[in-house]
Structure 1
Amino acid sequence: MQKDIFVVGLMVDERSTKAPDVQQVITRYGSNILCRNGIPSPSRERGIITLTMEATEEEYRQMERELQELQGVTVDSIHFRQPESFQVCHQS
């Protein structure tokens, strides 16, 4: 099954109360996440998280659905389809 690259942006309203629920979903997909970046400023009402994932489209869509079920979480993404000749670098 082909895995593609997804760059996922999350906007989390009421960051201080929603962060544990968002983290729980992200943790379930941790094996697909290559990189995570966040703005953790406690003075902000909103949090921004970006994820770079290597996943099948089905894996990504499932995570997206779970995140969108959380009130106050907005999800948007860019999908880079990988031709068979392109390989993501993996550490051995």
Structure 2
Amino acid sequence: MNCYQIMAVRIYNRDKCAVEVQRVLTEYGCSILTRLGLHDQSTPGTCSPAGLLVLQLCCCNETSRELESKLNALEGVKAQLVDLSD
């Protein structure tokens, strides 16, 4: 079990792919310790079409790479895993 993994997920078009991203994240929910969602809200009351998720994962390396692959397979999504373990 490796709990020193961080995954950054950039979502280019939240309106079109948010549901699919959420479906994948729910599938791997037991492996996600922390989830931080960031988006530019320059106009109050509106949501930016793009966003960034930062995930702290606690799972085996195979599971984290599988999650990264599934997210990258979605149109308008780019995910990158950073493993900070020894």
Aligned pairs, number: 80
In structure 1, C-alpha distance between the alignment counterparts of 2:59 and 2:47, rounded to whole Å: 33
Residue matched to 1:67:
71
Q: How does 1:7-86 map to 2 (within 5 A)?
A: 7-40=6-39, 41=41, 42-81=46-85
**TM-score normalised by length of structure 2:** 0.84
Q: Quick check: which has more Rg, 1 or 2?
A: 1
Structure 1 segments of 4+ aligned residues over 6 angstroms from their partners: none
Shift of 1:39: 2.0
Identical residues among aligned pairs (%): 26
**TM-score normalised by length of structure 1:** 0.79
Q: Output the aligned Cα RMSD.
A: 1.4
